[in-house]
Amino acid sequence: MLEINNQAMYKLDNVISYKKAVGLIAKLKSQNKKVGLCHGGFDLLHPGHMMHFESARKLCDVLFISVTSDKFVTLRKGAGRPVYTDKLRAYMIASVRFVDYVVISDFETAIEPIKLLKPDYYIKGPDYIKSKMPAIAAEREAVTSIGGAIKYTDDPKLATTSIINYIKEAVKYTKDNRHN
């Protein structure tokens, strides 16, 4: 992970604990507000994330983002990931105007956040609509088990891994070209 000094400075009031989120969501739902949840690593915040958050926010009254903790991003993506700590990723996402609240998820999958938070809508990108991946099927099952629904945005896909690979290749190409 990238070393960042004074991480404690990066705090916002809308980055909240699961306990606070559970109570807040119950209150919002009692006011007939539709609560949406997006979940992911959001390792390097990029335009694809921004568009996804904007589209997701249009599908609900209040948007929560669950950010995967560092250890589970590393398990899923490998060494060197995430680039930023979960606290910094939460801070950046909480700064986005389309996002109402952020929680840091210390769970391996989205199943637990879905079952704990009980959103009306669990919101994914369009690349998951026809996904047969067992993890996505389990997410669909989890959201229906709590009386919610899965919704999909229609944003173009832009993956952090693709961006990182592009940077690696561009830097390698530049270094290799300089020596010729």
Residue ranges making up the domain that contains 67: 7-178
pLDDT for res 18: 95
Beta bridge partners of 178: none
Which residue blocks in the chain are alpha helix, DSSP H? Answer: 18-30, 47-57, 70-77, 86-94, 111-117, 134-145, 160-178
Q: Is residue 117 part of a domain?
A: yes
26-30, 130-134, 165-169 — which one is most confidently predicted on average? 26-30
In a domain, 54, yes or no: yes
Domain assignment of residue 25, yes or no: yes
In a domain, 1, yes or no: no
| CATH number of the domain that residue 69 is part of | 3.40.50.620
pLDDT(74) > 60: yes
**Model pLDDT, residue 173:** 66
Structural domain tally of the chain?
1
In a domain? residue 52: yes
